[in-house]
Amino acid sequence: MILADKIINERKKLGWSQEELADKLDVSRQSVSKWESMQATPDLNRVLKMAEIFGVSTDYLLKDEIEEIPTNVIVQDTVSTKEELRSVSMEEANTYLNLVENTAPKTALGVSLCIASPVFLMLRSAFESLGIMNDAASTVFALSALLIMIAIAVFIFIMTGKKLDVYKYLEETNIETAYGVDGMVREKKSRFEGKHAMLVAIGVILCIVAVIPVFATALFSGEQNEHATTYAVGALLVIIAVGVNMIVRAGSIMDSYKKLLQEGDYTPEGKKVSKTVGKIAAIYWPIVVAGYLGWSFITMRWDTTWIVWPVAGVLFGAVTGIVRSLKKD
């Protein structure tokens, strides 16, 4: 049986039209028609893809002496495989990577604004001592600045999230990439790895050294500057905001490569776990934000309530670690 006849038989066994098979192979219907009428021969990449979607070997397709194989085996293998996979073309992969590169700095800026938003509240006493504003005016200004910074951050998250929503399936669905996509993504990932390591390293170092102003103030400031600790915490938040900005920006871009390559947390098994972690995060972080804002506004001790964030981050890491371990088991 020749290749043309095998293509016809396997296509009909699955109940597909020439157009449906063409869609799955990313070719025109006319191409499939020419293959089946022996006017043309598919290239090796198309043969490999047909073998995959038909659930047969390439030997079966290419060797005329190998006759028809049982129908039930083909259909079961093909259906179970194709239901779990979504094809990603070269154009779609490039569009997604470019979009992430454009949105990653904006997302990182939004995170930094959230972290640095209480800084003006910590500078209220400076405004008052310098005679720039009275107590009431400085409070209104600081709270307004906090809310405006958070509002800008939320706007950024909504707009970038809306743009990336169309590619949400990369985190949730198992995918197969078109010919050449895997190599292209690996090359870009390889070129970015050095920059990623540098940005993450600098970001982590900044987060570590951010406590130096607080320690220095505790050791060297005396009664001559009773607000020194508050100012030091403000400096701490600004430094952390810069460090986290670098980490988020680098991480977002690196994650885009891992999603297309289905590596790290985006393997088929990892995606199942991520769905559970996502549901937990959707409940966990709003509770943390509500608790932080409630505690801060009730006590007006913005110089101490910031401790909520590192504690919440460590706890969330522990929770996700437990979930991943249980899922793996």
User: What are the pLDDT digits (tens) for 49-107?
Assistant: 888 888 888 888 887 767 655 444 444 444 444 445 788 888 999 999 999 999 999 99
133 vs 29: CA distance, rounded Å? 74
pLDDT at site 131: 66
Split at pLDDT 50, 70, 90, the class of 15 is confident
Tell me the CB-side half-sphere exposure of residue 115, using CA atoms within 13 A.
24
* Two structure tokens written together for 55: 């659930």
136 vs 128: CA distance, rounded Å? 10
Across residues 4-13, what is the average pLDDT? 83
pLDDT at site 153: 93
pLDDT tens, residue by residue, 203-212: 999 999 988 8
The sign of the dihedral angle between the CA atoms of 226, 232, 235, 241 is negative
Split at pLDDT 50, 70, 90, the class of 125 is low
Is the CB of residue 117 less than 8 Å from the CB of residue 152? no
* Two structure tokens written together for 203: 């970001």
pLDDT at site 100: 95
* Two structure tokens written together for 96: 């997604």
Closest CA to 10 of 74, 82, 79, 63: 74
* Residue carrying structure tokens 């290239």: 43
Buried b (16+ CB within 10 A) or exposed e, 233-270: bbbbbbbbbbbbbbbbbbbbbbbbbbbbbbbebbeeeb
DSSP code of 167?
G
pLDDT at site 118: 83
The C-alpha angle 86, 25, 91, rounded to 5 degrees, equals 65
Note the residue count of the chain: 329
Across residues 253-275, what is the average pLDDT? 83
Split at pLDDT 50, 70, 90, the class of 225 is low
pLDDT tens, residue by residue, 148-161: 999 999 999 999 99
Q: Which H or E element spans position 176?
A: strand 174-177
Buried b (16+ CB within 10 A) or exposed e, 56-80: beeebbeeeeeeeeeeeebbeebee
Tell me the CB-side half-sphere exposure of residue 319, using CA atoms within 13 A.
16
pTM exceeding 0.85: no
DSSP code of 178?
P
pLDDT at site 217: 80
CB-neighbour burial class of residue 119 (10 A; exposed 0-12, middle 13-18, buried 19+): buried
276 vs 319: CA distance, rounded Å? 11
Helices (H), the chain: 3-13, 18-25, 29-36, 44-54, 58-62, 71-82, 90-116, 119-122, 124-129, 135-164, 169-172, 181-209, 212-220, 228-261, 268-299, 302-305, 308-328
